[in-house]
Amino acid sequence: MTIMARLFAAASLAVAGLSAPLAAQDYEPGRLVVAVDQTDLATIATALGHTIRETGKGDEAFVAAETRDGIVYLLLGTACDVNGVPKCQGVMIQARFDLPERTTPETLAKTNEAQAAITVTADFKEKALVFTRYHVLDNGVTMANVVANVNVLLGVVEDAYPMAAGEE
């Protein structure tokens, strides 16, 4: 079984056959953003050609999307509506998987040392392996930059998963 097939099989947030409707705006790579909302997060996922699987309710800035390779990831708006700035001034980018049996604190430490671009954690009680990249939007970044940060997480997951899973 390929790594991508294992990642797809392990994705604990996959919602089979469900695609939540959400109107994403046109992707403008050069648009400067200092804060994002749910529509912006959907625009980021669709700009990457990914399928939106779930969205937040009401004012929640949250999108679960799936890559063509079957990795389900989350875009979560953070630091929302604070310090007089409307919308969310940060984006938490996460991919979550069922916890492999051979994941240990040692495999997590080894993975975090080898992959400085992301943080890998495990919830041993809830049996989840979590890959995270946090992106601060303070003073503005382009939409292309946010998209690039999503790609960083997704690109690193393929290499980091076997190490975190204790397969190396």
- The per-residue pLDDT for range 53-91, each reduced to its tens digit, is 999 988 889 999 999 999 999 999 999 999 999 999 999
Both tokens assigned to 121: 């954690």
Phi, psi of 10 (to 5 degrees): -90, -10
The single residue listed with the structure tokens 């939007």 is: 137
The CATH architecture that domain 3-13+32-164 belongs to is: 2-Layer Sandwich (3.30)
Name the residue among 73, 123, 113 with its Cα closest to residue 95. 73
User: Which DSSP letter does residue 27 get?
Assistant: P
Instruction: Decide: 62 and 75 in contact? Cβ < 8 Å.
Output: yes
Angle (deg, nearest 10), helices 143-164 and 38-47: 70
CA distance 51 to 67: 7
Q: What does the pLDDT look like over 84-133, one tens digit per residue?
A: 999 999 999 999 999 999 999 999 999 999 999 999 999 999 999 999 99
Domain boundaries, the chain: 3-13+32-164
